[in-house]
Amino acid sequence: MPKSYIKRILDARIYDVATETPLEPMRQLSHRLGNRILLKREDLQPVFSFKIRGAYNKLLQLPPEQRARGVITASAGNHAQGLALGAAQLGVRATIVMPKTTPLIKVNAVRMRGAEVVLHGDTFDEAAARARKLVKERDLVFVHPYDDPDVIAGQGTVAMEMLRQYSGNLEAVFIPVGGGGLAAGMATYIKYVRPETKVYAVEPEDAACLKVALESGERLRLSQVGLFADGVAVAQIGEETFRVLSETVDGVITVSTDEICAAIKDIFEDTRSIAEPAGAVGLAGLKRFIEQTDCRNSALATVCSGANINFDRLRYISERTETGEKREAVLAVRIPESPGSYLRFCRDLGDRAITEFNYRYAGDEEAHIFVGLQVATDNDRRQMVDKLKEGGYRVTDLTENEMAKLHIRHLVGGRVPGLHDEVVYRFEFPERPGALRKFLEHLAGRWNITLFHYRNHGAAYGRVLVGLQVEPEARTELLDLLEQLQYPFWDETENPAYRFFLGS
């Protein structure tokens, strides 16, 4: 075990700029999953990330002549902010090379702290190569974001605080891994102080550089890295961090994008804070561990490692959350193209909540619908699909289909040659089970539905667009029925957006 790090960690004097963050119980998630789940709130640091610890510790260890030359680093954002703040505290000139793909919120935060920002490349590795060239060109001192003993020791103070804050039996700790600095520092300290506590590294499935290295016994470079969790999007584990982690971690857990999104929601529901994707990776791994081992009544801890997220990413995260929690099934279902078919389908679903419903008329024989349904578990989803198939429906389960979730759900539609007498209405449905069925029962199969789009957005009202094939002489009857329904509605038949993209 790398015991040499323990003294470095204990000697780290980082609290001029860093904060001792709380270790908070996640009460809602603990109740739901039957364990005591603890969250180390590194998102509460002045730079909203643990990275300030390692960066500042490194700066403190530099001799005065090296500080005078100025420092440089490559970072996707959080280490950059930590180094910029630490350098400003000590009066050191800082240059930060960041990938062009870095969220703007992180770029602006670094600039606001007085550091020079150089945007280069699409990945951390490309940015790091540029930073190495600038070291020679400008005679700067390179501060590595993770593969440096002083940086690793600074990050290890997270574990020092965690074990001081929770003196009870801690079954396991789950630590996010990009380059491995946080995991190396924390794992070293945990295994020295409490060797009985399991330590698991957690990585995104599409950026699992530590997993590959441990399996092969060498630091292989990934040919491609997913950028969703940009804070841990690293193609090759660090040399020093790999050496340390090889001796300290009990295993590696990989998680999907959907599981990360679900963990972001879990953190929000318990703390009312929004973690960045990399910040929720550890919790996603903790949840995967519980699912795989059926662990119960144990104390499990993880780190919310950062909260530097672009606001415009929240829409995508929200869309993926239900699937990540395995509470939504996404299905393609074929039903007869005839009045009353939708009502029969909704009745066969029972009181199960519909989260999404997309349909566009395509022919006289068969309707293809894209539907999202609320489920309790994976097993519940499989049972529901089997039940629909037994009822005569032709069902394709798209829950794990990436293209369907990213694109197809938004493209179900288009113009229909030969479609006549179509009217289009926009509704606000009360967001409760049975609202759609009530609507269909009220129409009682009088008219053919030619278009339907609905997506649950967690508001009090669901927003729905419906197309109906209604002869001109029957439209007064339709309006009377819609008024009786008492759902707010608007006639959109002459809406230019409809006429341009959907109308015949």
Beta bridge partners of 369: 333, 359
* Structural class in CATH, domain 51-142: alpha beta
- Look at the domain 326-501 and name its fold: Biosynthetic Threonine Deaminase; domain 3 (3.40.1020)
Continuous segment of H or E residues that includes residue 409: helix 409-411
Which amino acid is it at 224? Q
Question: Is 51-142 in the same CATH topology as 4-49+149-322?
Answer: yes
Set 40, 51, 211, 287: catalytic member: 51
List the pLDDT tens digit at each of the 504 positions of the chain: 457 899 999 999 999 999 999 999 999 999 999 999 999 999 999 999 999 999 999 999 999 999 999 999 998 778 999 999 999 999 999 999 988 877 777 788 899 999 999 999 877 778 889 999 999 999 999 999 999 999 999 999 999 999 999 999 999 999 999 999 999 999 999 999 999 999 999 999 999 999 999 999 999 999 888 878 988 988 999 999 999 999 999 999 999 998 999 999 999 999 999 999 999 999 999 999 999 999 999 999 999 999 988 887 888 888 778 667 778 888 888 888 888 888 888 888 887 888 888 887 767 777 788 888 888 888 889 999 999 999 889 898 988 877 677 666 766 677 777 788 999 898 877 766 677 777 878 876 788 888 888 766 555 567 788 889 999 999 999 999 899 888 888 898 888 778 877 776
Q: Which long-range contacts (CB under 8 A, 24 or more apart) does 90-95 make?
A: 90/59, 90/60, 92/59, 92/67, 94/70, 95/70, 95/71, 95/131, 95/134, 95/138, 95/140
3-class DSSP assignment, residue 333: strand
Residue 464's closest CA among 446, 445, 482? 482
The ranges assigned to domains in the chain are: 4-49+149-322, 51-142, 326-501
Tell which CATH classification among 3.40.50.720, 3.40.50.1100, 3.30.70.360, 3.40.50.2000 matches the domain 4-49+149-322.
3.40.50.1100
Residue 305's closest CA among 159, 412, 166? 159
Q: pTM (2 decimals)? A: 0.78
Which amino acid is it at 190? I
Tokens representing 476?
């007064």
Set 75, 256, 305, 341: catalytic member: 305
DSSP state of 404: I
Whether 305 is catalytic: yes
Continuous segment of H or E residues that includes residue 426: strand 422-430
Q: How many angstroms separate the Cα of 52 from the Cα of each of 15, 241, 471?
A: 10, 18, 68
Continuous segment of H or E residues that includes residue 37: strand 36-41
DSSP state of 474: G
